[in-house]
Amino acid sequence: MAKTSSKTVSENQIPALTWLADPAKYVPSGICVVFGEESFLRRSVLAQIPASVASALNSGSDGNADAIEPTEFDASQTAWRNVIEELTTFSMFGPSQRLVILNDAEDFVAKNRVELEKWAETPAETGTLVLEMKTFPSNTRLYRLVDGSGLMIDCRPLNERDELPQWVCEMAQKKHHVMIRQNAAMLLITQIGTEMGLLDQEIAKLALTVEGDEPITEAHVRKNSGSWRMQTVWTLIDCMLDGQAEETLQYLGQLLESGEAPIVITAQLSSSLRRLATATRIVLEEERMGRRPDLNGALTTAGVNRYFLPKSVTQLKHLGRERAQNLLEWLVELDFALKGASTISDRLLLERFILRLTVSRTIR
């Protein structure tokens, strides 16, 4: 049973930040569900649960509880018999409680709902089961059982207008030992987005730009921070056109895992690649007219800023005549495929497109 004392918090449903502020007050026992779309909060809660359970055991007669180690299962790769065996096996020399964590448990819950309901009704004293899920529908019997006798830790995204800026300010002070002004926190959210893990990384970076007790201001954010996703897309494009396939695919993975939509990534890719395609068309037209092509002039006409001309010339040469001629056609194919014309996964479509462009060639 969860330990609660505040009337402002539902008896067994605790917001993640409330739980993280005092894990010893709401101790998982029997069954606990950590749910919500904010992965940073889920990871933070899961990291603290072993210490919370151990602390509760230490307050009793078991002096070995400080050595408690959770058993973690990939829920998609395990069976209920493995989980129940771990939960009910008595430990002769370790702590009196077994702690089992099931990651990404949605499918597992769907397949083992009856068994989980029985466990939620009458859990064994030997174990605590923690389910990690992005969603936990409230219209299920399991939800009602956990709400009645277990613990639910709600990791939904924070409100962008007030909760998230407040969290940024608190995280800056408590974790990174720097102050950030409220308006600077709001600007940071505007530029980086609402994903808490990325905001945490950006605060850490900004903390290095101030000295002593100097607070992080809007000026610091504007100068030293930008849209993480936007910067990553530009880096991805540079790596791709430099022929660095492995690095390009790594950046693509970061973007997709952070929630960036494949169609948005494609739009940003297109804005750069179409300029190279246009410059190629101009070069070919010059050749057909018997004139010596000027890459700098063609790129300038295509809309490339003169500051980026040397880099763009190198990239166009690496891309090569054949692929540069096919760029527009490949971009159109990719756009249609991502909008439903293909049964291949969006990630695979993007990876295939990237690999088309990362083999070293030279424009003639």
- The per-residue pLDDT for 173 is 95
With beta carbons less than 8 A apart as the criterion, state whether 154 and 187 touch. Answer: no
Residue 317 identity (one-letter amino acid): K
Measured distance CA(241)–CA(290) in Å, rounded: 29
The pLDDT tens digits for 128-168 are 999 999 999 999 999 999 999 899 999 999 988 889 999 99
- State the average pLDDT over residues 11-35: 92
Residues 6 or more apart whose CB falls under 8 angstroms from that of 208 comprise: none
With beta carbons less than 8 A apart as the criterion, state whether 182 and 219 touch. Answer: no
Measured distance CA(254)–CA(308) in Å, rounded: 25
Is 0.85 topped by the overall pTM? no
What are residue 151's phi and psi, to 5 degrees? -140, 135
Between 18 and 126, the more confident residue is 18
What are residue 329's phi and psi, to 5 degrees? -60, -45
The pLDDT tens digits for 208-218 are 889 888 999 98
Q: Residue 228 above 80 pLDDT?
A: no
Q: Residue 68 above 50 pLDDT?
A: yes
- The per-residue pLDDT for 1 is 38
Q: Which has the closest alpha carbon to 105: 142, 71, 135?
A: 135
